[in-house]
Structure 1
């Protein structure tokens, strides 16, 4: 038997130290330091239950095990070909003697880039089913850190990031909660993860979770007097936060930390805490570049709906007898134009939204049976478009908008996936807009978490890749299920048509949302004035044209959209060349410069090719970027094509001013490149 109340492990490089200790009344606690600086001060651990005695106190340590693990694995797709998974582990068994020797385990893994830990509930005589009332995992911070935060919400992450000290969260919360179709905030100091922070003594700290399976999404509630964050789980329709059956475990709670901002961007800790892929055959999973009719719908140039009817019932309304509105984007001839453009420019696929019946009458309504996911509008010829796309070597990407009616989607899922296979679709963009049905459930609750994974695993049965929008933010599950090639779960490019994203938006997202997995951000907007497409929309894109190019490198995704219209790309065809050239899968990645909220410069080597691509983005402030090329093979000269802001460029006054020049570079070259306000640049090196 083991009875000592304190345990310690260090990271492999000795920079991080984890201490675990039982405090008075057997309360489990932990603390974390980095290079002798406090990252997490002594913080309580525990889970409060509803129907059995809680896992909060009364513990004794009855066993500890320490181990080391070191492997290198290769993702199916990713930012680098090889990922090292190296950690020291402490497994603590905690027994509650007063509860008939009931026991749990807490497993800590300490990497060079941070900490992961989770609660485990082994099979045992005195523990079977239990209901979680709340998880009380604390993260006691060392001070009033600068934070990059979103309002805590059970249904959306589509907010602009607020940059402030933690002490200012309460005062800024009301303005931060902007309207959304479905939203449920819970606290004047509630925050979402991934939460990025910077301490006054120069530590970059990121708190998130990994391997979220069969559990509720974790938000954080801030005690803004003591700067203690505590887990706050998403409830279900009756307020319960998790239904558990032993043996089981929670997701990992993660703390990534470094004194270099770029280390946060390059951390693979969240992926390393997920299981290896479940699929024996992954040959059907391929990164893709795509175009589609989406942006013209977002801007209001065309519509998803076929008619202007206000009362539609699927299976009852006869669309062949209704009057078309004349603006329906997903018609056969128009989609063929996108297929032609994709084929001409080496683009893999075309996304088609609004092809199926039901779009007229659902938005903002709580309506169960909106779509059947297989019945096209009269002007969309599924068979002919399959034939035409196949003849051009182009795939069509399916679109499934669930309208928040999850039970209806599950009702139709097998039929919908079979329909995809029969008609040549191997990827689907799914959407979860609106309030969830069953009523009272939330987008980020346990029930929905299980649904998203069900949709992904069911898709794999049909060799279909999934790009889920309005779903749960990723937690590294794409390692285990690599057909999850895209997610939204943040404020994307569409908001540039709804009033605009802040110029610093994409200098923050890689430090926050992208920590758990790639985002389908849909970059590539060249016509930055929305009224060029829709005279009634005076929004504008808050970037320069060449910053849009840079996003293909800085906003990593194996699924990248060239989101603008073909006619616009043809007007700026010299700049479009970068979108044609840029890779979507990588062997190596290097952060050249980074500061959250200010700027990011990243270089990447294309998968299996002797080609490099560099992207740099900045906030509203002009700057001069310093680009090194020391990752290039020594002794060789390369031609670099630089797509940069013009001298008079700015995101608000002159976004389409750009220059393209070619220079010769070697591993010794250092380039100083001016960046406009809200601007960026992109470089291809061959």
Structure 2
């Protein structure tokens, strides 16, 4: 690890204050300017290769029940610059090491009339800008309530954007692609039904927001290190093309309770004229603190199967019985209940998945619906929903633990909270100890439905703190966490790498709820995955769900080859083969790619990319000389052209190519694929068809 600090410190007397400061990125392609307006309002602007990216934009916070907000009347009392350069190794990731190199400007402001100080810290990387508010310890600013953060991002034009509607409770929407000026008219159509949702504006959107200017500049707005603060949405003034931060409120409407000393999350602007560099950016991770877990040997990437898709598609159920109109844990006697005959999480069936995992080399088996309480778990504002330790009569925890252990397979726990965060915290230690006692090393948490306490939101400050509490408590028990329906990631997995997976977007399950747009997976890496990996649960081979679940008429909007490619393009150290065993048994030759593909990487090369259209990625499996390539395509068929110059020179490899057949189409012929093997070298050029909603996957193994 290399660190280099070069700092200069400038302290001005009030009479000779410089009201403008400039910062350049290490390679000089970015220029950030900070200044105060005539009324003492802090502002910043950003240029990339001499082109305006963010026009002059205001900074500050509006306070509640305070005579004066932190918006204006500031003077600069201190200005510090520094350069930082290090290389660090992630516990798991897209690459074996990450360079963290930036130039920094920290401006200390003093407010006239209140004698309150804030620091605005800017870090300018070679891929963009991060900045945050800091509140030093001081007698005149100790406890305060944020009414609204007033951070602006003034766009330099009417960009094309890939966006989802602003919401306090969900990101599970399809993306809409439009000009910024069209968001208002499209907003109502962009909001599909969800288990819990609350919008706030016709021009509100969520981060990570991906845009492209008319002259080919790609711009991404997001946040990093969301700790003890409300999640940020963006509200657009579509007359001036200015985004302003819009924090998620709590049950009282407040946006944040702050005690100094503290900091806000980083606000981030990632920029390039090459879409591939947006995908390759590690700025979000770099703006988070280094790993706080001393021993990380127990944190390991996982490839898993599970009892899940069958419930999502209505083939089976989470619940055990139909006898009870309502459940009260500790009172309801399941031993007297008649099984409904559709319960998926029964011992015999779970053993089938353990056998399948063992046979095909998977690390784990997830089981949902194993614990008592699923009969009335949703929609009742019920606080005591689950206890996370009491199994149904047909789920033998001890037997399954021993059986899985004998097969070399780990069981993955499922904790659905039904949004009752205080109930989960009430049971958390007992639940994690139960996991330790029964050999569970990873947990999938869920927060479906409205949050309890009533009136709170999935993205409000106290619930953000709950998610963080679960992650940190899990460290005490050496448990890895995969959170679903929680807040979208902001790079915290660098600090707590036991946070091995997240959902926080429209995942594969929505293919069973009516479908997602075929280009959805060409946008997610530019948006949701900017903050961290997603448990997208790919690998669906049977696109016509009605074939095995007669009541479900949904179809998966993807070709089979596209599903294979997702294991490479949708980066995650936690990857599920989500389909049913019988569907994989129909296509053993295609299933081979899922068995072979790695989940941890030493190198990643983004070969082609255009948000909403296509992505092609090559990754080198950690500890080997083998590579895997994935290409996903949107609605329009295209020919992908790539060069394998990332392979080691002078060596030969065998490439197995899993591709769309000539007549493949996500609607009419999704299971049409071809498999061929060829010898390749670093000089090989490949030209490959990607069908509508299609793609291809390639495994490249060094010849011995």
In structure 1, the partner of 2:366 is 351
Using the TM superposition, give the Cα deviation of residue 97 of structure 1 relative to its aligned residue in structure 2, in angstroms: 2.8
1:293 matches 2:307: yes
* 1:548 alignment partner, one of 539, 563, 578: 563
Partners of 2:444 and 2:203 lie apart in 1 by 33
- Find out whether 1:91 has 2:91 as its counterpart: no
What is the 5 A alignment of 1:573-584? 573-584=588-599
Matching of residue 245 in structure 1 with residue 259 in structure 2: yes
How many Å apart are 1:595 and its aligned residue? 0.1
Counterpart for residue 175 of structure 1: 189
Larger CA deviation: 619-628 vs 479-488: 619-628
- What is the 5 A alignment of 1:240-639? 240-308=254-322, 309-639=324-654
How far apart are 1:532 and its partner, in Å? 1.3
After superposition, what is the alpha-carbon deviation per residue over 1:600-638, rounded to whole angstroms, capped at 9, x for unaligned? Answer: 000000011110000001011111001210000001110
For 1:68-217, list aligned pairs within 5 A: 68-99=83-114, 101-217=115-231
Q: Which moved more, 1:311-320 or 1:344-353?
A: 311-320
Q: Residue 34 of structure 1 is aligned with which of 40, 48, 53?
A: 48
Gaps of at least 5 residues in structure 2 are 1-10
d(CA) in 1 for partners of 2:265, 2:33: 21
Tell me, in whole angstroms, the C-alpha distance in 1 between the residues paired with 2:506 and 2:570.
13
In structure 2, what is the Cα distance between the partners aligned to 1:496 and 1:113? 34
Would you say the 8 A contact 1:300–1:533 is kept in 2?
no
Give the paired residue count. Answer: 685
C-alpha separation between the residues in 1 aligned to 2:320 and 2:547?
A: 23
Matched residue of 1:426: which SS? Answer: strand
Counterpart Cα distance in 1 of 2:632 and 2:141:
52
Separation in structure 1 between the aligned mates of residue 71 and residue 690 of structure 2, nearest angstrom: 53
The answer to whether the 8 A contact 1:403-1:431 is kept is: yes
Listed one character per residue, the Cα deviations across residues 43-70 of structure 1 (whole Å, up to 9, x for unaligned) are: 0000011133311000000110010000
Counterpart Cα distance in 1 of 2:452 and 2:405 = 37
5+ unaligned residues in a row in structure 1: which ranges? none
CA distance in 2, matches of 1:178, 1:649: 29
Q: Partners in 2 of 1:73 and 1:310 — Cα distance?
A: 55
Cα offsets for 1:469-491 (capped at 9, x unmatched): 00000000000000000000000
Look up the SS of the partner of 1:133 in the other structure.
strand
The whole-number CA distance in structure 2 between the counterparts of 1:521 and 1:430 is 14
The answer to whether residue 21 in structure 2 is matched with residue 7 in structure 1 is yes
Measure the CA separation in 1 of the matches of 2:534 and 2:652.
Answer: 34
- The answer as to whether partners of 1:554 and 1:601 remain within 8 angstroms in 2 is yes
Q: Deviations over 1:420-473 (max 9, x none)?
A: 000000000000001111000000000000000000000010000000000000
* Displacement after TM superposition at 1:310 (Å): 2.6
Instruction: Give the deviation of 1:647 after TM superposition.
Output: 1.2
Deviations 1:307-334 (A, max 9, x none): 1233221111111101111000000000
Q: 1:674 aligns with which of 679, 689, 697?
A: 689
State the distance in 2 between where 1:94 and 1:201 align: 36
> Any idea what the Cα deviations from partners look like across 1:252-273, whole Å, max 9, x if unmatched?
0000000000000000000000
Distance in structure 2 (CA, Å) of the matches to 1:450 and 1:79:
27
SS in 1 for 2:374: coil
Using the alignment, how far apart are the partners of 2:365 and 2:96 within structure 1? 27
- 3-state DSSP class of the match of 1:631? coil
Runs of 4+ in 1 over 3 A off after TM superposition: none
Aligned to 1:221: 235
Deviation readout 1:630-655 (Å, 9 max, x if unpaired): 00000111000000011111100011
Q: What TM-score do you get using the length of structure 2 for normalisation?
A: 0.97
TM-score, normalised with respect to structure 1: 0.99
Q: Match of 1:171, SS?
A: helix
Asked whether 1:45 is paired with 2:59, we answer yes
- Of the structure 1 ranges 565-574 and 371-380, higher mean CA displacement relative to structure 2 is found in 565-574
RMSD: 0.6
Q: Contact (CA 8 Å) 1:18, 1:30: kept in 2 or not?
A: yes
SS in 2 for 1:105: strand
